[in-house]
């Protein structure tokens, strides 16, 4: 049995994960103090509470930032204002088990490849489509980390010019086209008289034949296809799974996205990876955190 | 001792490579017959000629196309009109040694990481800047191949809109901005009264203070920097080497390229990889072909 933590900007989710990726127990606590010391204490408390029932053999933590997984150090975690936090060392003082810390999108990717929508593949990419666009890559059976764990920031691949800059400082990052934020913003540019406040509303209006929603989805899929074909050309994955909050709407844009992707592939002689919906939902972060050591 | 072959569109180059990556003997023959059978015969002849002197232990071939290195099959080689050629099996009938076949840019990347400008790094990218833009990636000490070897086509990453389509069918592939072809084309758009016929002339004119050459290099470096920062965000390499014919001019654009790259990096807290010139020149293809099995 393994213990997985999924650290978010406001909550710490956790779960006891068995060898089949099933969550036997899970929970979530709100963060009141975001210092590393407070969060380490919270994790130790949860571990001590659950361990008597589950007898953990490993512990893993996924965090929404840049992590040097090899060194067990959170390099940069903007939401919590952490820089260079030696999280594994801090936890190791209280928990005498193998501990891993990694990026949360990497964790979700691992979970989908071990137990979810990409089970069994050796070349697989997860795109987490929420407020922004995150990514995890397993290439040739190995998790892409990059030096100091700073790789796999797939949302910050420039694919064209946009009318708004990315918060990373560049213009044209794919997450400024392909994210819940981008959907809402673009829809409201087209229909300023009746704006939406969330991506779900764009899809609801699409179902009702709304013209601006249709145009927004074309714009979204156009740039998404550009990014996906870039990833095909770079990684030649066998499968790409789409996760995150917006993935629920995947059936509403799957066929137009596939159509655009297929018309742009580099070579018709290559069988490029299919695009599927991730299957583990929010649990992927906890499950994958428990298995961060799976594809090293 | 290993035998490396570098198969081009018009020539077959070869060399005997020792354990330090030194070429003890090399040569090149023009291709008169581009069928797989004829080229296999050529390779076998060269092997039989050289083997008595060098006592080879391994043979490797780099080809400018998509190769399933795992299966030893050339999937697609446009220049020679090859599709699904089982090159290793064909050679194996005549050469009873371990044989590898792989992509030529991957081979050059391997050579630069083993013996050249990127020696010793675990996260390294080679960009081969010639008529087009090729790439090889070693990530976490492992060569990026992708499913069926179709990955690492870094030149076909769309980074923006261009006024000419790429020959892959998309618009905005980085090689339509960053290649000898692109330099010549863009320069001639700016100075149609006195056009150039090769990239070297653009750099020669740059040295002489030519305004159109200066503008061309800005345009080139602008898009090159976009692509390099994309690669930083995707792979977080420790080093990127620039090889290929245009790399000779690297000192003429190094500082403006670095300046643009540094102004666009995702996080100032991360030490992104330096950009260097590849050091092995044309020999990289032969040397790396002999070591295609080095980072599997």
Kindly report, residue by residue over B115-134, the tens digit of the pLDDT: 999 999 999 999 999 999 99
The ipTM estimated for the assembled molecules is: 0.96
Rg (CA), chain B: 19
DSSP state at residue A279: S
Q: pTM higher than 0.90, yes or no?
A: yes
Q: Which of B156, B234, B269 sits opposite A157 (nearest CB)?
A: B234
In this complex, do B236 and A76 lie within 8 Å of one another by their Cβ atoms? no
Distance of CA A167 to the CA centre of its chain: 18
Taking only the tens place, the pLDDT of each residue in A241-284 is 999 999 999 999 999 999 999 999 987 778 888 999 999 999 99
Any idea which residue has 């990955």 for tokens?
B151
**Between chains, do A145 and B66 touch, taking CB under 8 Å as contact?**
no
pLDDT of residue B269: 77
pLDDT, tens digit, 9 for 90 and up, residues B133-150 = 999 999 999 999 999 999
Nearest to A236 among B123, B151, B229 (CB): B151
Separation in Å, CA A115 to CA A19, A60, A141, B199: 10, 17, 15, 51
Report the pLDDT value the prediction gives residue A268, as an integer from 0 to 100. Answer: 76
Percent of chain A with pLDDT over 70: 100
Integer Cα distance of B132 and B11 in angstroms: 18
By Cβ distance, the residue of B156, B236, B264 closest to A233 is B156
| Contact at CB, A153 and B233, closer than 8 angstroms | yes
Q: Compute φ and ψ for A103, nearest 5 degrees.
A: -70, 145
Tell me how close the Cα of B171 comes to any Cα of chain A, in angstroms: 10
| CA distances, A130 to each of A124, A168, A183, A214 (Å) | 19, 17, 10, 20
Non-local CB neighbours of A111 within 8 Å, separated by 6+ positions: A21, A280, A283, A284, A285, A287, A288, A291
CA distance A57 to A59: 7
Chain B residues in contact with A151 by the CB 8 A cut-off are 123, 139, 233-236
Could A235 and B264 be called an inter-chain contact, meaning their C-beta atoms sit closer than 8 Å? no
Nearest to A266 among B153, B229, B230 (CB): B153
Contact A234 B150 (CB under 8 A): no
Intervals of chain B under pLDDT 50: none
Residues linked to residue A128 through DSSP beta bridges, in sequence order: A134, A243
Predicted pLDDT at A269: 77
What single DSSP character describes residue B173?
B
Using alpha carbons, select from B157, B205, B161, B153 the residue that is nearest to residue B183.
B205
Report the distance separating Cα A61 and Cα A72, nearest Å.
Answer: 10
């Amino acid at each position: 049995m393994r213990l997985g933590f999924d650290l978010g900007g406001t909550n710490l989710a956790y779960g006891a994960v068995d060898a089949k990726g099933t969550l036997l127990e899970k929970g979530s606590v709100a963060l009141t103090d975001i210092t590393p010391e407070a969060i380490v204490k919270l994790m130790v408390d949860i571990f001590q509470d659950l361990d008597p029932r589950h007898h953990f053999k490993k512990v893993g933590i996924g965090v929404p930032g840049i992590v040097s997984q090899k060194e067990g150090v959170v390099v940069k975690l903007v939401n919590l204002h952490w820089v260079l936090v030696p999280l594994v060392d801090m936890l190791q003082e209280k928990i005498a088990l193998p501990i891993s810390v990694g990026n949360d999108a990497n964790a979700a990717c691992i979970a989908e490849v071990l137990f979810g929508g990409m089970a069994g593949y050796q070349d697989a990419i997860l795109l987490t489509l929420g407020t922004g666009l995150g990514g995890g890559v397993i290439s040739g059976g190995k998790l892409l980390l990059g030096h100091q764990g700073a790789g796999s920031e797939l949302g910050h691949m420039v694919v064209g010019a946009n009318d708004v800059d990315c918060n990373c400082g560049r213009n044209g990052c794919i997450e400024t086209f392909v994210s819940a934020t981008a959907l809402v913003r673009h829809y409201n540019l087209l229909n300023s008289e009746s704006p939406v406040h969330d991506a779900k509303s764009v899809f609801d209006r699409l179902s009702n034949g709304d013209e601006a929603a249709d145009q927004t989805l074309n714009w979204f899929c156009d740039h998404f296809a550009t990014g996906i074909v870039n990833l095909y050309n770079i990684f030649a994955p066998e499968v790409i799974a789409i996760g995150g909050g917006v993935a629920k709407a995947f059936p509403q844009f799957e066929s137009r996205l596939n159509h655009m992707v297929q018309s742009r592939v580099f070579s018709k002689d290559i069988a490029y990876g299919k695009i599927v919906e991730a299957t583990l939902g929010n649990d992927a972060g906890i499950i994958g955190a428990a298995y961060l050591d799976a594809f090293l």
